[in-house]
Each structure stands twice: as C-alpha cells, then as structure tokens.
Amino acid sequence: MAELRDDMTPFEAVTYFFDTVADVVEMDPATRAVLAGTYREIRVQIPLRRDDGSVETVYGYRVQHNGARGPYKGGVRYHPSASLDETRALAALMTWKTALVDVPFGGAKGGIQVDPTTLSKPELERLTRRFMSQVSYIVGPHRDIMAPDVNTNAQTMAWMMDAYGQRAGHTPAVVTGKPVELGGSLGRDAATGRGVVIVLDEVIRDAGQSPGDLTMAIQGFGNVGSWTARLAAESGYRVVAVSDVKGGTFSERGLDVEQLIGHQRQTGSVVEFPGAEPLDNAALLELDVDVLVPAALGEVITSANADRIRARTVVEAANHPVTPAASQTLGERGVTVVPDILANAGGVTVSYFEWTQNIQQFSWDEQRVNGELARHMTTAYRKVRDYAQGSGCDLRHAAFAIAVQRVANAAHLRGYV
Ligand code: NAD
C-alpha cells in the first residue's frame, strides 16, 4: 500500500507514485513486485588518473529498472550527490516515461559520483571511457542505450560511443545525444526543452489562457532550462527569471533570452546579466509568476516550501523536482503540476528517433524530427488529460496509471510475470 512520508528517499518517492496506481488498479502481487523493483544494478569502481599523475577512486552506477517494452534506455549524470538510490529512482522514471510517450524502450539510468567541475577535459575523457568500458558488458544497441543528463553532453556521448566501438566495432546506436557529425539527430539538443513547451502550450490552451499573458520562472539554465527559455520566449511567454548553480537573474519586463545565452557563454553563468536584478535560487521558486519550471536537480519543491509556491502551473522539466508530500500540497492548493514523465519526455522521444536513424543508417531532417516530436508529446498529453478528467485524478496519477498499465501488459504478454 502507498504510504506518504516526509522523509522518503528518491527511489521510495518514485515507488510511492507507482504504488498509488497499483493500489487503484488492484495490481496482482507478483506483477507489483516485479514492477516496483529494479532488474539489474551495478556499481563500478573507476580509478581516475588525474593530470598530475595521481589516482583518485570514484564510483559509477548503472541501474536497469524494467525492459518489458524494449532495450533499457536512460541518461548518465556526473554529480557529487549521484548515488545508487537516486539512480534507481531515475531509472524507474525512465520506464514510466518511455511507456507514456510510447517509444519501444525500457528504463535505466547511470551516474558517476564526482564533481566534474574539478576535472580537466582529458580527465573527463578518461573517466568516461573507463566507465563505459566497465559497464560495456551490459549495454548495447539492443540491450541498454545511454544518453546525456546533468553535466554530460554530446562530447561525453562521443567518447562513450568510441570506447564501446573499440570493443564491439562501430556502433553509433549504443548512445543517443551524440554530436550530429557522429550520427546524432538534428533536434536532439533542443528536444527536451521543446517537449516542455509543447506540453505547456497544450495545458494552458486547455485552461483558456494564452502564452502572451503568462510570466515564467525557470530554475536551471543547462540543456533543458536554456532550451525551454528560448522556445518559451519564442512562443510568447514572458521569461522573467532564470537561475543556475551560481544564482539567478530577474527582470519584471522579461529577460532577453538570446542575449542571456550569449552572456552565459561569455561568463559561464546567468548571474550579473546586465540590466537585470540578482535573485537566489530559493527565491526564484517562490516568485509571483504564472508558470514555474524547475529544470535543474531533484527535490527542490518539498513540504518546506510547497506552501509558498505562487505559480499556478508547475512544469517538471527536471526529474523528480517535487516530493510526494509537496505534490499533494500543491494539488490541494489547486496548482496544476505537469509531471516529469510527461513534461520532459521530449528528450527520450528524440533519442528514440536518433536510435532508429542509426539503425536504419538514414537521417531525418529537423522538420521531420520536430513534427514527430510534437505528435508524440501531444498524443501523450491528451491521453493523460482525458484519463485525469475521466477519473478525477491529477495529471501525475493519470500519467503513471497509463504508463504502469502499459508496462504491466507488456510484461504479461512476454510471460515475464
Ligand atoms: P545540465 O547539466 O545541462 O544543466 C543543469 C543546470 O542546472 C545548470 O544550469 C546548472 O548550473 C543548474 N544547477 C545545478 N545545480 C543547481 C542548483 N542547486 N540550483 C540551481 N541550478 C542548479 O543538465 P540538463 O540536461 O539540463 O538536466 C536538467 C534536468 O533535466 C535534470 O533533472 C535531468 O535529469 C532532466 N532531464 C534532462 C534531459 C536531457 O535531455 N538532458 C531529459 C529529461 C530530463
């Protein structure tokens, strides 16, 4: 039975969302045990040779949650707080996300517990190659496919592809989010942010609103946050605040996102953007805006601040930014929360397009990628909305209900459980 506690770990929190659905659909205990747990978890030791010749030992994780619907799929993050529990949580979210947007993958995630800002480029390359070679026995284009996440990018994927290729021969489909020159897909870089804006547009249209009337604050200005800002501004939203790990920047009139991206490129951060006011990360979350987009790390909206969130719509561009207790508080206060497994699924959707292009050795133009992305995201959103309206539940519950039942069906059809 689902039991709500304030002190849940990330994996307990994601399992709670699963359990609430399993309770409602009266899932049989055997299926429930299979879907609640992870299939395979590995921790690898990575001796990292620093440029000065010293060796530091760090640890990496890969968790494969469920493969009933296809090969395991999920990103790899480099972060000091990466842990087995967090990786499990993120892997489970990938299972539900791929099922919800109906791409033929299972769910996985990886992480290396390291602060990449302290590493040089050659050190990052050695770390990445060593990690890939140590997990290469369980990955592959039809087994488990990696992708970028926090603090990893197209360059990281290029090194991973190369390291895997040294063992298995040229295999671009073993990772997605690669540079376009190496078989990456046009549109993959922008895909997660584009998906966020596609779903948000649908949500606000259903609420009878239009982008030009709405203000937005975005926490995080990396791949997801900066693309969300750029595409939201193009759609007409007034982006009044953004932040990164160093702090935030605010302008009541709206930030010029293109100029801000230039400023970030030059200085390494969004702080001290000329003509705007400074803002800290906690204050950004509580700003009086219409739409709040957490696009950085997990668990930033908790029972400690859920009462003070003033936005009427929260779009979970990050994974697991809202704890279960906070999600309940926001729901009781009438705030619409667009869940992560829907809001940020654009990334894995275009990763699926990249993987198919690699396997077919045929590339799509960007228009086709963006058109197919919009179709997948809109279909998924409308199914979630209709389910929520039909059963009187919130969007998260509806999204989990659809996803969980798809995965359970696949597991039954295969005879897995
Ligand atoms: P990224 O490394 O490109 O960017 C992360 C951003 O968050 C940076 O601007 C960083 O400065 C900021 N940040 C880090 N710590 C912060 C803090 N304590 N306070 C405020 N800002 C902080 O990572 P990304 O790929 O943009 O991923 C962001 C989130 O989106 C993650 O939760 C990730 O799991 C999720 N996500 C990413 C993708 C993808 O395609 N990259 C897809 C789905 C979900």
Contact 248, 278 (CB under 8 A): yes
Ligand 1 contact via 296 beta carbon (within 6 Å): yes
Contact 109, 96 (CB under 8 A): no
Residue 180 CB partners (closer than 8 Å, separation 6+): 186
Other CB atoms within 10 A of residue 286 CB: 16
pLDDT in tens, the chain (417 residues): 788 988 999 999 999 999 999 999 999 999 999 999 999 999 999 999 999 999 999 999 999 999 999 999 999 999 999 999 999 999 999 999 999 999 999 999 999 999 999 999 999 999 999 999 999 999 999 999 999 999 999 999 999 999 999 999 999 999 999 999 999 999 999 999 999 999 999 999 999 999 999 999 999 999 999 999 999 999 999 999 999 999 999 999 999 999 999 999 999 999 999 999 999 999 999 999 999 999 999 999 999 999 999 999 999 999 999 999 999 999 999 999 999 999 999 999 999 999 999 999 999 999 999 999 999 999 999 999 999 999 999 999 999 999 999 999 999 999 999
Contact 122, 156 (CB under 8 A): no
Between CA 296 and CA 159 the distance in angstroms is 24
DSSP assignment of 246-307 equals: TEEEE-TT---HHHHHHHHHHHSSSTT-TTSEEE-HHHHHTSS-SEEEE-SSS--B-TTTGG
> What pairs with residue 321 in β-bridges?
none
Which residue from 72, 62, 64, 77 is spatially nearest to 98, judged by alpha carbons? 72
Ligand 1 contact via 86 beta carbon (within 6 Å): no
Residues across the chain: 417
Set out the domains of the chain in order of their start, with CATH numbers: 38-168 (3.40.50.10860), 191-343 (3.40.50.720)
pLDDT of residue 236: 98
CA of 220 to the centre of ligand 1 (A): 6
CA of 291 to the centre of ligand 1 (A): 18
Ligand 1 contact via 221 beta carbon (within 6 Å): yes
Which two structure tokens, joined as six digits, stand for 314? Answer: 């929260």
Which two structure tokens, joined as six digits, stand for 103? Answer: 């791409």
Other CB atoms within 10 A of residue 392 CB: 8
**For ligand 1, atom 41: residue with the closest CA:** 149
pLDDT of residue 6: 84
Tokens 């990396």 sit on residue: 222
Residue 164 CB partners (closer than 8 Å, separation 6+): 132, 136, 139, 171, 174, 175
CA of 149 to the centre of ligand 1 (A): 7
pLDDT of residue 222: 97
Which residue from 80, 89, 82 is spatially nearest to 10, judged by alpha carbons? 89
**For ligand 1, atom 31: residue with the closest CA:** 318
Question: What are 92-114's pLDDT values in tens digits?
Answer: 999 999 999 999 999 999 999 99
